[in-house]
Amino acid sequence: SEHAHTRYNPLKGEWVLVSPHRTKRPWCGQVEDGPDEGIPEFDPKNPLCPGVMRHIGQVNPNYKSTFTFTNDYPALLEDVPSPPPSSDPLFQMESAQGTCRVMCFHPKSNITLPLMTVSEIRDIIDKWIEELTELGKKYIWVQIFENKGAIMGCSNPHPHCQIWASGFFPNEPRIKEHYQLEYYKKFKRPLLMDYVSKELEKKERIVTENVDWVVVVPYWAVWPYETMLLPKTHLKRFSDLKSKQRDSLASIIKVQIEFGSNSISILPVIVRKGGWSGAPTGPKLYEDVSHWVFHGVYYPPLLRSATIKKFMVGYEMLAQCQRDLTQEQAAEKLRNVPDIHYKQENE
């Protein structure tokens, strides 16, 4: 808790430098603007709002719950030509086929996940699983992710996420595939299920839990207030969830993000990035993927307050990732914040 040390991430084969003594240093760096509280419930110029015409000329339906559409400016396209083969090991190229979708969580722009009801979050979970099941029939990887907040690069305040499906296996899940499989071959058990068991036993980094799920600050967390949401029973994909597990997931998502929204010296944190990982799909749908464990990750990009951002720069880009406060200190801070959203607490 006081001295610099490194920790190993068995999920990715990487190390993180932990430097807890650096929390004592004064801050003279960049300070971001505070959270924007002036978001209207409806903005006729916002292309994600119900009934608004998007830039390509399509009009959104007057949706009452979730609404999904193909991204008007996608990073991936379904029909792209294949590049010519290359025999040069230094210059390799492959086609990148896929599709990108936008999913609106709620018709109101000034509503965020922790302010939604558990029932509304359950509707979102059902839609996530529906999209994953559909796209997973064709694509090897379906990435559901959310960027929230202007300092995270989010270009629209309306509550939404993105779903990118690709015909190629992206770097992050490909690395997780490798290390989970190696662990499974060696110990005959899923890596993350062993990890869950040990975290439940140690109780040092648990933020919150319920009957089906546990939220921890991972032992190897890179971002100061990074959390991981894990199942207590072995689930390989999002689509494995039964109805009761979906209900309990909705409940813990609400609590987890409320902790994040109220945390870090009790300042409102409404920026985050996160998403879901599970066994690959498409051509791997019928393969044995017992080594995979479905999980979610949240990465609030904050260093010590709601307006001081954690940057991954110099040492992180050239050597390895570094963090200041320990993972246990972060978990304790998150555990001790109110479980009622700061906006509701002030009403």
When pLDDT is averaged across residues 38-54 and rounded to a whole number, the result is: 94
124 domain-assigned: yes
pLDDT-based confidence at residue 35 (cuts at 50, 70, 90): low
Let me know how many helices (H) and strands (E) the chain has, helices first: 7, 14
pLDDT at residue number 147? 82
Q: What is the pLDDT of residues 223-250, one digit of tens each?
A: 998 999 999 999 999 999 999 999 999 9
Answer whether residue 288 shows pLDDT above 80: yes
Which residues are paired to 68 by β-bridges?
103
DSSP string, 45-75: T-TTSTTPBPTTSPBPP--SS-EEEE-SS-S
Query: Residues 297, 228: contact at Cβ < 8 Å?
Result: yes
When pLDDT is averaged across residues 127-132 and rounded to a whole number, the result is: 97
Percentage of the chain lying above the pLDDT 90 cut: 73
Query: Residues 121, 253: contact at Cβ < 8 Å?
Result: yes
CB-based burial of residue 316 (10 Å sphere; 0-12 exposed, 13-18 middle, 19+ buried)? Answer: middle
pLDDT at residue number 65? 96
Answer whether residue 68 shows pLDDT above 60: yes
Q: What is the pLDDT of residues 82-127, one digit of tens each?
A: 999 999 999 999 999 999 999 999 999 999 888 899 999 999 999 9
3 domain-assigned: no
Tell me which residue range forms the domain holding 181.
Answer: 38-81+92-336
Domains held by the chain: number: 1
When pLDDT is averaged across residues 161-167 and rounded to a whole number, the result is: 95
25 domain-assigned: no
Answer whether residue 255 shows pLDDT above 90: no
Dihedral, 254, 256, 258, 261 alpha carbons, nearest 10 = -140
Catalytic position from the list 158, 160, 291, 341: 160
Answer yes or no: 160 catalytic.
yes
User: Which of 18-22, 87-91, 340-344 is modeled with the greatest confidence?
Assistant: 87-91
pLDDT at residue number 154? 64
When pLDDT is averaged across residues 48-61 and rounded to a whole number, the result is: 96
Percentage of the chain lying above the pLDDT 70 cut: 86
| pLDDT, greater one: 337 or 194 | 194
Average pLDDT over the chain reads 89
User: Which of 8-17, 108-117, 264-273 is modeled with the greatest confidence?
Assistant: 8-17
d(CA 324, CA 1): 10
266 domain-assigned: yes
Answer whether residue 269 shows pLDDT above 80: no
pLDDT at residue number 85? 93
310 domain-assigned: yes
198 domain-assigned: yes
CATH code of 71's domain:
3.30.428.10
When pLDDT is averaged across residues 194-202 and rounded to a whole number, the result is: 98
d(CA 169, CA 31): 37
343 domain-assigned: no
pLDDT at residue number 330? 92
pLDDT at residue number 23? 78
pLDDT-based confidence at residue 32 (cuts at 50, 70, 90): low
pLDDT at residue number 266? 33
**And the tokens for 150?**
């202007």
pLDDT at residue number 267? 32
Phi, psi (deg, nearest 5) at residue 290: -65, -20
60-69, 132-141, 269-278, 281-290: least confident range: 269-278
29 domain-assigned: no
Answer whether residue 54 shows pLDDT above 80: yes
pLDDT at residue number 337? 79
pLDDT-based confidence at residue 268 (cuts at 50, 70, 90): very low
Phi, psi (deg, nearest 5) at residue 298: -125, 135
Amino acid at the residue 148? K
pLDDT at residue number 210? 96
